[in-house]
Amino acid sequence: MTRPRGIALAILTMFAASALVTAQDGSPVEKGKAVYGSVSPRCSMCHSIAGKGNAMHPLDGVGDKLSAEDAKAWIRTPHEMAEKSQSHGKPAMQPYSKEKISDQDLDALVAYLLSLKKK
């Protein structure tokens, strides 16, 4: 490999690594949006945001209604939250354990959900 080609390759590698770090260090809201779209089973099977997903349980405006603690509880322990709030949607939401959503991903998902305010 010639020297200019090696330098060019090194510069491209640095830019690629920089872009990867930027993508991984994005805002919690953006990371949470990605978690919302990728967790299994998919959140959009039962919920919708901005008209995308299942319209039976829209999450638009949820950021005006829930605290971060309550949003986390709805995700980790939905049966207890349903009883507490007398909400009996069908089918009942299943819990998302740490094996399904890590604590870091949960924090990002909650940041995303809390960003969903009424316009």
Residue 119 lies in a domain: no
CATH number reported for the structural domain that contains residue 73 in this entry: 1.10.760.10
Sheet of 47-49, strands arranged across: 52-53, 47-49, 57-58
Number of domains observed in the structure of the chain: 1
pLDDT digits (tens, 9 = 90+) for 53-82: 999 999 999 999 999 999 999 999 999 999
Residue 39 belongs to domain spanning: 27-114
Residue 17 lies in a domain: no
Contact 82, 92 (CB under 8 A): yes
pLDDT digits (tens, 9 = 90+) for 34-55: 999 999 889 999 999 999 999 9
Contact residues for 88 (Cβ-Cβ < 8 A; gap 6+): 82
Of all residues in the chain, the percent with pLDDT exceeding 70 is 79
Residue 2 lies in a domain: no
Residue 58 lies in a domain: yes
